[in-house]
Amino acid sequence: MSEKFDVVVIGAGPGGYVAAIKSAKLGMKTAVIEEREVGGTCLNRGCIPAKAMIHASTLYREIKEADRFGISASDVTYDFEKILEYKEQTTGQLVQGVEQLLQANGVTRYYGKGTLFEGKKVKITGNEEQFVEAENVILASGSKPLILPIRGMDLPRVLTSDELFKLREVPKSLVIIGGGVISVEFATVYSALGSKVTILEAMPRLVPNMDKEIAQNLKLILKKRGVESHTSAAVQGVHMEGDTCVCTFVEKEKEQTVEAEYVLCAVGRCPNTDGLFAEGAAPDMERGRVLVNDKFESSIPGVYAIGDLIFGAQLAHAASAQGIVVAEQLAGKEPSVNLDVVPGCVYTDPEIASAGITEDAAKEQGIKVKTGKFIMSANGKSLITKEERGFIKIVADEETDVILGAQMMCARATDMVGEFVTAIANKAFKGDKKLKKVVIGVHIRRIMKESEKPWKKQRVERSTLYQRKRNRTVQQ
């Protein structure tokens, strides 16, 4: 006889494990099914290991440049094996923490592959096969690297981000196909460690979903650090000449080649639905993604989908927020998180963060806006740390002054963007003195509390992703 649960979650990434813990906290009998380590891509093959390597490589670069602060350091070197050890220890500690949270909250943990069958039955394929039944199923199996359908992508030296993390040595040279977030973060790491890095981006600019001015500044900063970037570059394929990868691309109607020891394919991610549905059990889908309504329910009543399985932002903190909302709805509670404003961050140096709409997006939507811009070279902390290159831009409605968006390129941008999320979610405006109720917006995970407010003088004490609505004190 199969065990029955109120909620069964397939996948224990940032969306799945948060949904499972929240469901259990709200009194529902909950199980989570995961065939790999808990934490998903974020903890094991994405956010956390990438940020650990960014921290180590940035620290190495800063030590070499410490002379500008009157500190001399000679013969500065790094041990890449120890950097990897530090990265893996960090990941392992967090994974263990999630396992303990699941156990402490009474979530039943199944090890194996979860497959949805008709009637909300789920088969678990692990050391042995077993079935569980659920009143509600939350699909949270995440995503996997997208592979371009061009020649040479199956070559042993053409890697995905998963495989790049497994390298035990720093490549002498690296070509990165794609100029999005994953690309520029890896470029930051490996250029700091001495690799010759070349980025090939098909769109007219790097990080194409970000503000145009941010993209322009980022390209200049990367160039100063030795990273060569080609935009509007259509990659045709990769072939080997001995141990060297030769990547062919077309830029400005001219075919060119670039050589490297390795090639990284970083053109995005696609939903991981391998083995997720039994025959006849799949909900309505489009382009590989599960279609859901405003409550994240699929075409099958009682079957929900969150995170990278659905259309929308492919971000760990977005998946976590969606998991919380689904759990609260299943428990008959009012959702405590506003999902309308989801910030995006890039952990380059300087950091990049964005919330709401950009100036260009507003114009495309026919919204009349005005912008306020603060150059970080006028900020005392930025001058002290010599991180003065950057800016903060705020986009507001021309008539009402309501804040619609914020784009930041500066030190600690990823820490500060949460304040703008709160402002945008609450439709704050310049001179707003009476915010009666602050609705919680989606905050970047692992934010530190530090904020700065150019252009607008109000300060709203930060709310976190996991807090409920409560009154806030607003200071002019």
Q: Where are the alpha helices (DSSP H) in 136-180?
A: 161-164
The answer to whether 209 and 201 have CB atoms below 8 angstroms apart is no
User: At 100, which amino acid appears?
Assistant: Q
Count of CB atoms situated within 10 Å of the CB of 426: 22
Residue 444 confidence (pLDDT): 63
Per-residue pLDDT tens digits for 44-70 = 999 999 999 999 999 999 999 999 999
Residue 463 confidence (pLDDT): 35
The answer to whether 430 and 456 have CB atoms below 8 angstroms apart is yes
Sheet holding 262-265, edge to edge: 158-159, 262-265, 173-177, 196-200, 228-230
Complete DSSP assignment for 168-226:
SS--SEEEEE--SHHHHHHHHHHHHTT-EEEEE-SSSSSSTTS-HHHHHHHHHHHHHTT
Residue 389 confidence (pLDDT): 80
**CA gap 162, 113 in Å, rounded:** 19
Counting every residue written for the chain, the total comes to 476
Per-residue pLDDT tens digits for 393-427 = 999 999 999 999 999 999 999 999 999 998 998 88
Residue 44 confidence (pLDDT): 96
* Phi-psi label, residue 427: left if phi above 0, alpha if psi -120 to 50, beta otherwise: left
The answer to whether 315 and 11 have CB atoms below 8 angstroms apart is no
Work out the end-to-end distance of the chain between its first and last CA atoms, rounded to an integer number of angstroms: 63
User: At 264, which amino acid appears?
Assistant: L
pTM for the whole structure: 0.88
Count of CB atoms situated within 10 Å of the CB of 292: 23
Spatial neighbors of 225 by CB under 8 A, at least 6 apart, are 191, 192
Count of CB atoms situated within 10 Å of the CB of 109: 15
Taking 70 as the pLDDT cut, the residues of the chain under it are 1, 430-476
Residue 42 confidence (pLDDT): 94
Count of CB atoms situated within 10 Å of the CB of 46: 24
Complete DSSP assignment for 62-115:
HHHTGGGGT----S----HHHHHHHHHHHHHHHHHHHHHHHHHTT-EEEESEEE
Its sign, for the CA torsion 160, 56, 408, 475, is positive
**CA gap 124, 266 in Å, rounded:** 31
Residue 468 confidence (pLDDT): 33
Beta strands in 357-451 (DSSP E): 369-375, 391-397, 403-410
User: At 250, which amino acid appears?
Assistant: V
**CA gap 274, 276 in Å, rounded:** 5
Count of CB atoms situated within 10 Å of the CB of 312: 16
Residue 472 confidence (pLDDT): 36
Q: Strand 113-117 and strand 121-125: pairing? A: antiparallel
Residue 453 confidence (pLDDT): 38
CA angle 443, 161, 316 (to 5 degrees): 15
